[in-house]
Amino acid sequence: MSPAARRPTAPDGTTLAHLATIPVRQINRVGDKRAEALAALDIDTVLDLVTHYPRRYIDRTRQADVAGMRMGEESLVLARVVAVRSRRTRQGRALVELDVDDGTGVLRVTFFNQAWRGRQLPAGTEAVFFGKLESYRGKRQFTNPVVDLVGNRTGRIVPIYPTSEKAGIAGWEFGEWVEEALRRSGSLHDPLTPAWRDELDLVDRTTAFAAIHAPESIADKERARRRLAFDELLRLQLEVVMRRQVLERDARGIRHVVGPDHAGHDHDADHDADHDADHDADRVDHGDLAGTFVSGLPFPLTDAQRRAVAEIGEDLAGPLPMHRLLQGDVGSGKTVVALCALLVAVRGGRQGALMAPTEVLAEQHFLSVRALLDGLSVPDSGRLEGRRPVAVALLTNRTGAGERAKLHEGLRSGAVDIVVGTHALLTDEVRFASLGVVVIDEQHRFGVEQRDALRVKGRDAATGEGADPDVLVMTATPIPRTAAMVVFGDLDVTELDELPAGRTPVRTVWARTPTDEDAAWQLVRDEVAAGNRAYVVCPLVEGSERVQASSATQERSRLESGPLAGLRIGLLHGQLKAADKEGVMESFRRGEIQVLVATTVIEVGVDVPEATVMVVEDADRFGIAQLHQLRGRVGRSARPSWCYLLGSAPSPEATVRLEALERSTDGFELADVDLELRGEGTILGTRQKGRSDLKLASLRRGDRPLVEAARRVAESVLAADPGLSHSPQLADEVRLFVGEEEALYLFKS
């Protein structure tokens, strides 16, 4: 029996955990057949039922007349079906056509690929239809409208459930089951005290559940949504705040020496007795490597970079391990900041690790790290007075066995200062002499567990000796603040909100027609003639890297003998050996190659300031974030740059994407559009399972105050009751919704 089931009710009402133990079958009129249909919608318990919220509401007070509806506008009509015709289109699609009449006029309603509508809506049925009025062959029509069978419901606001009507469950039926479930549950236990509810202007839980399913008014429904959305966010915030508290309690951090030489050495003065930080007096100090590195760069840091380096420096010098997120748009210069952090570890004779989610990204980070560190050296312990370069290594699954063994040895002995790699860094054979700083790129592609897996490599697996490295998480795909608080709630956040000076925003053109496309190729020729360079990103093709590669090869020949004849064209794809890739990139950098035809391997890290044009083929098949990343490969100098997005027949969604890219170069704004289009899942990722609890709360801007309120409540609740041991119902709830796996920290405390 799960712990949740042991505490079915609280003295002050029914808990959600209790509802999770009642099979939906116990609702009157839910027989085997209904229960099966519900199971198909993942509704097994009464809790599932009452948290299956309406998808939308129909405000019957705003009902229209068929006669009075206006073309192109969304309207709602209550009408009776007077005729039904079912047939197939010439393409073989099911087509159901209804004539519906509301007494003022007749409207044609057409459904594609919904053959079951014929059975759902026989002549004589009365239903609500909600859709956009259009004209088809002179007739007024709705295509695939929202339909609700009215039944005997009389409310002014009618909830529409995302039920599968196909499965034979009508909205009104669903509403009745929910009503019964809530009636039988009686008053619900409310984990939020009246004082908090007052302060945050939230209704109580019982009221909220009743109103979300059967609101008196739209305002009523909105109050219910706010409360229930708050609960979703509170559960997540409790989990992340708790997680953070546990991390800090068990932490044994490193007090790195940071800043100019011979300064900041009196760390003993602020020694925090609570934390057993690793700092022995005779630790090596190779001097201010990060400072030397920065002053050797051919450019000054931006103010934002300076701020970030300072914030990170404070974390590194402090007794607690850093858990910080570095957010910055494409081209904002995150790599330099990350390197400053890694070099602080090297300064103290420790090691740094940089983990990337893909081999290509890891390889490219490796190349840029190596290039940036060129010339930087540390004292060589083997040779008196001698110095050696900072040792950087690459570890991916492509690293050959011999080299890998050597590398493992170098990491164990400390001969390798900085390792760049993929998940390959997480394997058991990888042990560090002394891991000081970890940087994880594109964190949202990793799960929390993987972040932890690298973190624990600071300690000896057998003895637990050692210290926890400082962790910096970077994301190149900007995440709106609100979402960041949910997804990365346990991290501090630093934003690089500034691009290096002298960058001109890339002008982006969506080439919709063959003429536009010709203009794109013309621009490529002009720019090359002016001494600049261009990228052509090949269409995404289904299949393996091999298939991608061969399609890129074909595309290159097509361009060579077509629109780009006479130009020196190179080819880059994932199937090339690392050395060949480097060779191609080097030729492109030097200008021997003028146009680089590439797969998305150039998405990240590639850095050639002379590149001023990018042409993305079949751009409608890429996501917003990916196009934004790709586009970041141009506009890397003061020269004006262009990005042409080819795509002539995009879907409506792709149109929104391409238009957004044309309009904006602001990664945060684009991230919001993406969120709007694709929902929260894109950001939350599949690994972050518990996040699926967000049914009502939105990570978009609108719910930001709610996220912040939830954070405040979580912190206050946990300050008074760290392990939630005095609020068992709330603890159960977090476990129940956030998931046992993610709520692990509840049990550890």
In whole angstroms, how close is the CB of 281 to ligand ADP at the nearest point?
A: 36
Cα gap 404→631, rounded to integer Å: 35
Both tokens assigned to 407 = 């590398």
Cα gap 682→626, rounded to integer Å: 12
Residues 326-345 interacting with Mg ion (rule: CB under 5 A): 335
When CB distances are held under 5 to 8 angstroms depending on the partner's kind, the choice from Mg ion, ligand ADP, none that residue 256 binds is none
Nearer to Mg ion, 45 or 335 (CB): 335
Cα gap 26→46, rounded to integer Å: 8
In whole angstroms, how close is the CB of 478 to ligand ADP at the nearest point?
A: 11
Residue nearest to Mg ion (CB): 335
When CB distances are held under 5 to 8 angstroms depending on the partner's kind, the choice from Mg ion, ligand ADP, none that residue 328 binds is ligand ADP
When CB distances are held under 5 to 8 angstroms depending on the partner's kind, the choice from Mg ion, ligand ADP, none that residue 480 binds is none
Q: Report the half-sphere exposure of 665 (CA within 13 A, side-chain side).
A: 22
In whole angstroms, how close is the CB of 676 to ligand ADP at the nearest point?
A: 24
Cα gap 493→325, rounded to integer Å: 5
Nearer to ligand ADP, 77 or 340 (CB): 340
In whole angstroms, how close is the CB of 627 to ligand ADP at the nearest point?
A: 15
Nearer to ligand ADP, 301 or 438 (CB): 301
Q: Which of 415, 281, 403, 422 is nearest to 364 (CA)?
A: 422
Nearer to Mg ion, 372 or 519 (CB): 372
When CB distances are held under 5 to 8 angstroms depending on the partner's kind, the choice from ligand ADP, Mg ion, none that residue 500 binds is ligand ADP
Nearer to ligand ADP, 382 or 502 (CB): 502
In whole angstroms, how close is the CB of 493 to ligand ADP at the nearest point?
A: 15
Planar angle of CA 292, 294, 300, nearest 5 degrees = 140
Q: Would you give the distance in Å from CA 523 to the centre of its chain?
A: 35
Both tokens assigned to 668 = 């945060």
Question: What one-letter code names the amino acid at 330?
Answer: V
In whole angstroms, how close is the CB of 609 to ligand ADP at the nearest point?
A: 7
When CB distances are held under 5 to 8 angstroms depending on the partner's kind, the choice from ligand ADP, Mg ion, none that residue 548 binds is none
- Cβ atoms of 17 and 730 within 8 Å: the answer is no
When CB distances are held under 5 to 8 angstroms depending on the partner's kind, the choice from Mg ion, ligand ADP, none that residue 458 binds is none
Binding site for ligand ADP (CB under 6 A): 299, 301-302, 305, 328, 330-336, 476, 500, 607, 632, 636
In whole angstroms, how close is the CB of 117 to ligand ADP at the nearest point?
A: 50
First-last CA distance in the chain: 21
Q: Which of 484, 440, 448, 452 is nearest to 683 (CA)?
A: 484
Helix 359-372, helix 334-347: angle, nearest 10: 70
Nearer to Mg ion, 336 or 596 (CB): 336
What are the Cα distances from residue 523, in Å, to 420, 509, 602, 640, 644? 37, 12, 21, 12, 10
Instruction: Count the residues of the shown chain that bind Mg ion, applying the rule CB under 5 A.
Output: 1
Residue spans of beta strands (DSSP E) within 427-520: 435-441, 470-475, 492-496, 507-511
Nearer to ligand ADP, 494 or 548 (CB): 494
Q: Would you give the distance in Å from CA 527 to the centre of its chain?
A: 36
Residue indicated by tokens 């508290």: 245
In whole angstroms, how close is the CB of 304 to ligand ADP at the nearest point?
A: 9
Q: Which of 403, 372, 644, 664 is nearest to 523 (CA)?
A: 644
When CB distances are held under 5 to 8 angstroms depending on the partner's kind, the choice from Mg ion, ligand ADP, none that residue 301 binds is ligand ADP
In whole angstroms, how close is the CB of 328 to Mg ion at the nearest point?
A: 9
- As to burial, measured by CB atoms within 10 angstroms (0-12 exposed, 13-18 middle, 19+ buried), residue 559 is buried
In whole angstroms, how close is the CB of 227 to ligand ADP at the nearest point?
A: 40
Nearer to ligand ADP, 139 or 590 (CB): 590
In whole angstroms, how close is the CB of 305 to Mg ion at the nearest point?
A: 13
Q: Which of 155, 158, 173 is nearest to 37 (CA)?
A: 173
Nearer to Mg ion, 372 or 426 (CB): 372
Nearer to ligand ADP, 120 or 629 (CB): 629
**Alpha helix segments (H runs only) across 265-302:** 289-296
Per the DSSP assignment, residues forming a β-bridge with 126 are 80
When CB distances are held under 5 to 8 angstroms depending on the partner's kind, the choice from Mg ion, ligand ADP, none that residue 349 binds is none
In whole angstroms, how close is the CB of 603 to Mg ion at the nearest point?
A: 10
- Grouping H, G, I as helix, E, B as strand and the rest as coil, residue 560 is helix
Cα gap 635→641, rounded to integer Å: 5
Q: Identify the DSSP state of 269.
A: G
Nearer to Mg ion, 126 or 498 (CB): 498
Cα gap 215→713, rounded to integer Å: 27
When CB distances are held under 5 to 8 angstroms depending on the partner's kind, the choice from Mg ion, ligand ADP, none that residue 347 binds is none
Nearer to Mg ion, 537 or 738 (CB): 537
Question: What one-letter code names the amino acid at 44?
Answer: D
Planar angle of CA 250, 255, 258, nearest 5 degrees = 150
Q: Would you give the distance in Å from CA 95 to the centre of its chain?
A: 38
Phi, psi for 148 (deg, rounded to 5): -135, 125
Residues ≥6 apart with Cβ < 8 Å to 539: 551, 555, 617, 618, 621
In three-state form (DSSP H/G/I as H, E/B as E, the rest C), the secondary structure along 326-376 is: EEECCCCCHHHHHHHHHHHHHHCCCEEEEECCCHHHHHHHHHHHHHHCCCC
In whole angstroms, how close is the CB of 418 to ligand ADP at the nearest point?
A: 16
Residue nearest to ligand ADP (CB): 333
Nearer to ligand ADP, 203 or 356 (CB): 356
In whole angstroms, how close is the CB of 135 to Mg ion at the nearest point?
A: 51
Nearer to ligand ADP, 100 or 342 (CB): 342
When CB distances are held under 5 to 8 angstroms depending on the partner's kind, the choice from Mg ion, ligand ADP, none that residue 302 binds is ligand ADP
Nearer to ligand ADP, 480 or 632 (CB): 632
Both tokens assigned to 697 = 């709360």
**x-or-dash pattern for Mg ion, window 249-278, by CB under 5 A?**
------------------------------
In whole angstroms, how close is the CB of 397 to Mg ion at the nearest point?
A: 21
Q: Taking the CA atoms of 173, 174, 176 and 180 in sequence, report the sign of the dihedral they define.
A: positive
Nearer to Mg ion, 335 or 399 (CB): 335
In residues, how long is the chain? 749
- Cβ atoms of 81 and 147 within 8 Å: the answer is no
In whole angstroms, how close is the CB of 497 to Mg ion at the nearest point?
A: 16
List interacting residues with Mg ion (CB under 5 A): 335
